Amino acid sequence: MVILGTGYTGRWIHRLAVEESRPVLAGSRRPEQHLRDLAPTARVHFDLDNPATWSALPPDADLIWTFPAAPLEQVHAFAKASHCALRRVVVLGSTSAYDRGDETAMDVPPWIDESSPVNADLLRVQGEEYLRTRHGAIILRVAGIYGPHRNPVEWIRQGRVGPTHKFVNLIHVEDLARLCLLALASGGAGHSYNISDGHPRRWADICSEVSMRWGIVSPQAASPGGQGKRICNRKAVEELGYTLRHPDLYDALAALQPAACSRTDP
The domain limits of the chain are 2-145+171-199+230-245
Query: Using one digit for the tens of pLDDT, what is the confidence trace for 23-79?
Result: 999 999 999 999 999 999 999 999 999 999 999 999 999 999 999 999 999 999 999
Q: Report yes or no: 55 and 85 within 8 Å, Cβ to Cβ.
A: no
Residue length, the chain? Answer: 266
pLDDT above 60 (res 92): yes
Taking the C-alpha atoms of residue 23 and residue 198, their distance in angstroms, rounded to an integer, is 31
d(CA 13, CA 105): 39
Picking from 110, 114, 170, 113, the residue whose alpha carbon sits closest to that of residue 142 is: 170
Mean of pLDDT values over 9-30: 97
Mean pLDDT score of the chain: 94
Label residue 259 by pLDDT band (50, 70, 90). Answer: low
Q: Give, as one character, the DSSP assignment of residue 60.
A: T
Percentage of the chain modeled with pLDDT above 90: 91
Look at residues 116, 92, 104 and name the one whose alpha carbon lies nearest to residue 228. 104
CA distance 8 to 19: 17
How many other C-beta atoms can be found within 10 angstroms of the C-beta atom of residue 260? 7
**Residue 260 above 80 pLDDT?**
no
What residues does 228 pair with on adjacent strands?
167
Q: Report the distance separating Cα 83 and Cα 149, nearest Å.
A: 36
pTM of the full structure: 0.95
pLDDT band at 258 (very low <50, low <70, confident <90, very high): confident
CATH of domain 2-145+171-199+230-245: 3.40.50.720
Q: What is the pLDDT of residues 106-147, one digit of tens each?
A: 789 999 999 999 999 999 999 999 999 999 999 999 999 999
| pLDDT recorded at residue 105 | 64
With a CB cutoff of 8 Å and minimum separation 6, the contacts of 200 are 167, 168, 169, 228, 229, 230, 231
pLDDT band, residue 225 (cuts 50/70/90): confident
SS (H, E, C) 67-95: CCCCCHHHHHHHHHHCCHHHCCEEEEEEH
Alpha-carbon distance of 56 to 70, in angstroms, equals 20
